[in-house]
Structure 1
Amino acid sequence: MSAMAACSSAFSSVMSTIASTVTLTLRRRLGALVIRPGYPREQRVVVEETEAHAGVSGKEVVMRRAAVYKRCGCKTRSEAGGGRCPRLGERGHGSWYFSLELPCGRDGRRHRVRRGGLRSRAAAEQARAYLLGADVVPGRGAVTVGQWLDIWLEMRQSLSFNTRRLYTQQVNDYLKPCLGSVPLRSLTVARVQAMFVGLVRANATRQRPLSPATFVRIRGTLHAALNGAIRVGLIERNPAHLVELPSGRRPRAVVWTDARVAHWRATGERPPVAVWTAKQTAEFLEHARGHPLYVLYLAVALLGLRRGEVAGLRWCDLDLDAGVVQVSHQVQDRGGRTVVCPPKTEASVRTVALDHGLAAALRVLRSQRRHGDGGGPVGFLFANRDGGPLSPGYVTHTFTRLLVEAGLPPVRLHDLRHGAASLSLAAGNDLKVVQAMLGHSSIVLTADTYTSVLPCLAHRAAEATAALVLEAARDTAIALRERGRREQRRRGKGRRSRGRVAKKQHRRVRPHSAPRRSHS
Structure 2
Amino acid sequence: MPVASIKKIGPNNWGVQYRTPEQRLTRRRGFATKKEAEDFAATVAVAKLRGEYIDPKAAQVTVGELGAQWLARRTHLKPSSARTEEVAWRVHVEPRWGQVKLADIRHSTVKSWVADMGREKRRDGKVIKKASGAVTIIRAFGVLAGILDEAVADRRMLTNPARGVKLPRKTRRDHSYLSDEQVLTLAEAAATGRGGDDKAVIVMMLAYCGLRWGELAGLHVADVDTLRRRINVRRNAVNVGGTIEVGTPKTHERRTVPMPRFIADMVGEVCRGKNRSEILFPAAGGGYAKSPGINTWFDGAVNRCITTASDARKSEAKAGGDPVTPEFPRVTPHDLRHTAASLAVSAGANVKAVQKMLGHASAAMTLDTYADLFDKDADAVADAHDARLAGLMSEKNVAKM
- TM-score normalised according to structure 2 size: 0.70
Looking at structure 2, the residues matched to 199 and 335 of structure 1 have their Cα atoms a distance apart, in angstroms, of 24
Contact 1:419–1:452 under 8 Å retained in 2: no
Given the alignment of the two structures, is residue 356 of structure 1 paired with residue 261 of structure 2, yes or no? yes
Structure 1 position 381 matched with structure 2 position 280: yes
Shift of 1:468: 3.5
| Residue 359 (structure 2) pairs with residue 439 (structure 1) | yes
Offset, 1:393:
4.7
Letter in 1 for 2:300: R
Q: Establish whether residue 342 from structure 1 lines up as the match of residue 254 from structure 2.
A: no
Summarize deviations over 1:138-164 as a string: whole Å, max 9, x none.
963432223322232233333332222
Corresponding residue to 1:392 among 291, 301, 316 = 291
**Alignment correspondent of 1:108:** none
Higher relative contact order (CA 8 A, sep 6+): 2
Q: Distance in 2 between matches of 1:310 and 1:482?
A: 55
Contact 2:393 2:399 in 1 (8 A): no
- Contact 2:79–2:240 (CA under 8 A) maintained in structure 1: yes
Mapped partners of 2:368, 2:225: distance in 1: 32
Match of 1:282 in 2: 184
Indicate how the Cα distance of structure 1 residues 393 and 464 shifts in structure 2: closer, same or farther if over 3 A, else same.
Answer: closer
> Residue deviations 1:302-322, cap 9 Å, x none?
100010110010011122222
- 1:434 CA displacement: 1.1
Shift of the 467–153 alpha-carbon distance from structure 1 to 2, 3 Å rule, reads closer
In the alignment, what sits opposite 2:58? 140
For residues 278-325 of structure 1, the C-alpha deviation after alignment (integer angstroms, 9 at most, x for no partner) is: 332232122223523221121111100010110010011122222212
- Residue number among 138, 147, 154 corresponding to 1:216 in the alignment: 138
Gaps of 5+ in 1: 1-23, 26-137, 254-272, 371-375, 485-520
Partner SS state of residue 237, structure 2: strand
Measure the CA separation in 2 of the matches of 1:232 and 1:276: 51
Aligned residue in 2 for 1:159: 77
Give secondary structure in 2 for the equivalent of 1:275.
Answer: coil
Q: Percent identity among equivalent residues?
A: 27
Q: 1:471 and 1:392 mapped to 2: Cα distance?
A: 47
What's the CA shift for 1:476?
Answer: 4.7
Residue aligning to 2:301: 402
Distance 1:294 1:329 in 2: 22
| Stretch deviating more after TM superposition (403-412 or 351-360) | 403-412
Structure 1 residues 153 and 463, CA, compared in 2 at 3 Å: closer, same or farther?
closer
Aligned to 1:305: 211
Structure showing greater Rg: 1
Q: Is the 8 A contact 2:88 2:136 kept in 1?
A: no
**Local SS of the residue matching 1:298:** helix
Cross-structure match for 1:293: 199
Aligned counterparts of 1:483 and 1:183: Cα–Cα separation in 2? 75
TM-score between both structures, scaled by the size of structure 1: 0.55
Q: 2:172 aligns with which of 226, 230, 251?
A: 251
Alignment RMSD, CA only? 3.2
Structure 1 residue 470 displacement after superposition: 7.0
Q: For the residues of structure 2 that align with 1:356 and 1:395, how far apart are their CA atoms?
A: 32
Q: Give, as a single letter, the amino acid of the residue that structure 2 aligns with 1:280.
A: Q
Looking at structure 2, the residues matched to 187 and 347 of structure 1 have their Cα atoms a distance apart, in angstroms, of 38
Separation in 1 of the partners of 2:293 and 2:173?
A: 27
Distance 2:294 2:247 in 1: 17
1:469-488 deviation digits (Å, cap 9, x = unpaired): 4765665554449989xxxx
The answer to whether structure 1 residue 188 and structure 2 residue 109 are counterparts is no
| Cα distance in 2 between the residues matched to 1:190 and 1:482 | 61
Separation of aligned partners in 1, 2:170 and 2:119: 19
What SS is found at the alignment partner of 2:373? coil
For these two proteins, the number of residue pairs brought into alignment is 319
Distance 2:380 2:344 in 1: 20
Distance 2:260 2:191 in 1: 18
Deviations 1:73-128 (A, max 9, x none): xxxxxxxxxxxxxxxxxxxxxxxxxxxxxxxxxxxxxxxxxxxxxxxxxxxxxxxx
Deviations 1:440-476 (A, max 9, x none): 221111111146439xx94x86465356347656655
Q: Distance between the aligned counterparts of 1:207 and 1:474, measured in 2?
A: 66
- The aligned residue for residue 487 of structure 1 is none
Q: Which amino acid counterpart does residue 398 of structure 1 have in structure 2? A: W
Deviation track 1:479-511 (CA, whole Å, cap 9, x = no partner) reads: 449989xxxxxxxxxxxxxxxxxxxxxxxxxxx
User: Against the structure 1 CA distance between its residues 482 and 333, is the aligned structure 2 distance closer, same or farther, given a 3 Å change threshold?
Assistant: closer
Query: Match of 2:238, SS?
Result: strand
What amino acid sits opposite 2:229 in the alignment? G
Q: What is the alpha-carbon distance in structure 1 between the residues aligned to residue 342 and residue 270 of structure 2?
A: 27
Say which SS state the counterpart of residue 340 (structure 2) adopts. helix
Aligned-residue offset at 1:402: 1.5
1:20-73 deviations in whole A, cap 9, x for unaligned? xxxx99xxxxxxxxxxxxxxxxxxxxxxxxxxxxxxxxxxxxxxxxxxxxxxxx
> Alignment partner of 2:91: what SS?
helix
Equivalent position amino acid for 1:309 in 2: E
Q: How does 1:20-419 map to 2 (within 5 A)?
A: 140-202=58-120, 205=127, 209-246=131-168, 248-251=169-172, 253=174, 273-290=175-192, 291=196, 292-343=198-249, 345-367=250-272, 369-370=273-274, 376=275, 378-385=277-284, 387-393=286-292, 397-407=296-306, 408-419=328-339
